[in-house]
């Protein structure tokens, strides 16, 4: 696969541990909503990141989490910051993954995100909206603390103006200040749907979440061939 040079347009803190990165490709890029890119730090050191934007947008948007002690994503962020400061390009490979949005499906959609897995489901939700597909979309976003819901206001606004779009944030370690859903995000889905038989389910987040969600959803009627996650290739 050919690498494409990109300028790092901006790096913005979404939370103390998640950064939004905008990249401007030097040539047209081809990908489907829900695919990921690889940041090529060297010819052999490549790190995958979900693309939060959709193909219709000019810039590529990434959401990169760098929790304490995570050298995997920290070194990717270090590379991006360094190149940004030097106004030098980064190299990416784009259009990777097998869990992209299934454009020809007319089934309703459940989007399940754990933490920065939100990037992946955000792209798919935007693509469905951009295609004017009039079908129910349920976006579940699980985070450890409510401060990690960095796009909450935008999603609530979206849900307020689109009767087919539901946004369900789920906070794992809730305080008294949180009045919404609590616990693990896949458990909220299990509570809300008697059967998952009818749904296409897209998921991204910690690999452990994808693993337990796939098994639990299958037990509740979900079809494995209608569940999509690039994490499945790693577990």
Ligand X SMILES: Cc1cc2nc3c(=O)[nH]c(=O)nc-3n(C[C@H](O)[C@H](O)[C@H](O)COP(=O)(O)OP(=O)(O)OC[C@H]3O[C@@H](n4cnc5c(N)ncnc54)[C@H](O)[C@@H]3O)c2cc1C
Q: How far is the CB of 20 from ligand X (least distance, A)?
A: 11
Contact status, residue 105 vs residue 34, Cβ threshold 8 Å: no
Maximum C-alpha span of the chain: 54
Indicate the residue among 37 and 109 with the shorter CB distance to ligand X: 37
Q: How far is the CB of 135 from ligand X (least distance, A)?
A: 25
- Encode burial over 127-166: b for 16+ CB neighbours within 10 A, e otherwise: bbeeeeeeeebbbbbbbeebebbbbbeebeebbeeeeebb
Strand order in the sheet with 165-171: 181-182, 165-171, 137-143, 109-114, 200-204, 227-228
Q: Determine if 123 is a binding residue for ligand X (CB under 6 A).
A: no
Site for ligand X in 179-208 (CB under 6 A): 184-186, 205-206, 208
Q: How far is the CB of 110 from ligand X (least distance, A)?
A: 14
Distance CA 30, CA 23 (A): 14
Residues 6+ apart with CB under 8 A from 221: 195, 196, 197
Q: Determine if 48 is a binding residue for ligand X (CB under 6 A).
A: yes
Tokens 């008294």 — which residue? 176
Indicate the residue among 130 and 208 with the shorter CB distance to ligand X: 208
Indicate the residue among 128 and 188 with the shorter CB distance to ligand X: 188
To the nearest 10 degrees (0 to 180), the angle between helices 207-219 and 185-192 is: 20
Q: Determine if 115 is a binding residue for ligand X (CB under 6 A).
A: yes
Q: Determine if 65 is a binding residue for ligand X (CB under 6 A).
A: yes
Q: Determine if 172 is a binding residue for ligand X (CB under 6 A).
A: yes
Question: Quick one: which of 4, 40, 54, 73 contacts ligand X (CB under 6 A)?
Answer: 73
Site for ligand X (CB under 6 A): how many residues?
Answer: 29
Q: Determine if 230 is a binding residue for ligand X (CB under 6 A).
A: yes
Rounded to 5°, angle at Cα 185 from 183 and 186: 115
The interface region with ligand X, picked from 103-111, 130-138, 141-149, 159-167 by CB under 6 A, is 141-149
Distance CA 33, CA 135 (A): 17
Q: Determine if 116 is a binding residue for ligand X (CB under 6 A).
A: yes
Site for ligand X in 142-161 (CB under 6 A): 142-144
Tokens 């070194």 — which residue? 75
The residues binding ligand X (CB under 6 A) are 36, 48-50, 62-65, 67, 73, 114-117, 119, 142-144, 172, 184-186, 205-206, 208-209, 212, 230, 234
């Amino acid at each position: 696969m050919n690498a494409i040079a990109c300028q790092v347009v901006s790096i913005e803190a979404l939370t103390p541990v998640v950064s939004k990165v905008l990249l401007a490709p030097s040539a047209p890029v081809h990908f489907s909503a829900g695919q990921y890119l690889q940041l090529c730090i060297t010819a052999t050191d490549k790190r995958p990141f979900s693309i939060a934007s959709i193909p219709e947008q000019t810039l590529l948007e990434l959401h990169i989490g760098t929790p304490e002690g995570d050298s995997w994503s920290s070194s990717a962020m270090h590379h991006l910051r360094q190149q940004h400061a030097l106004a030098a390009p980064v190299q990416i490979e784009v259009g990777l993954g097998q869990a992209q949005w299934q454009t020809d499906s007319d089934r309703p959609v459940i989007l399940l995100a754990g933490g920065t897995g939100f990037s992946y489901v955000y792209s798919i939700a935007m693509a469905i909206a951009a295609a004017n597909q009039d079908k129910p979309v349920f976006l579940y976003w699980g985070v450890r603390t409510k401060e990690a819901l960095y796009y909450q206001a935008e999603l609530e606004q979206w849900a307020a103006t689109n009767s087919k779009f539901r946004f369900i944030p789920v906070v794992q370690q809730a305080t008294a200040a949180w009045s919404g859903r609590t616990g693990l995000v896949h458990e909220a889905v299990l509570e809300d749907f008697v059967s998952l038989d009818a749904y296409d389910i897209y998921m991204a987040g910690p690999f452990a979440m994808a693993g337990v969600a796939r098994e639990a959803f299958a037990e509740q009627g979900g079809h494995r061939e209608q569940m999509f996650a690039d994490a499945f290739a790693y577990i």
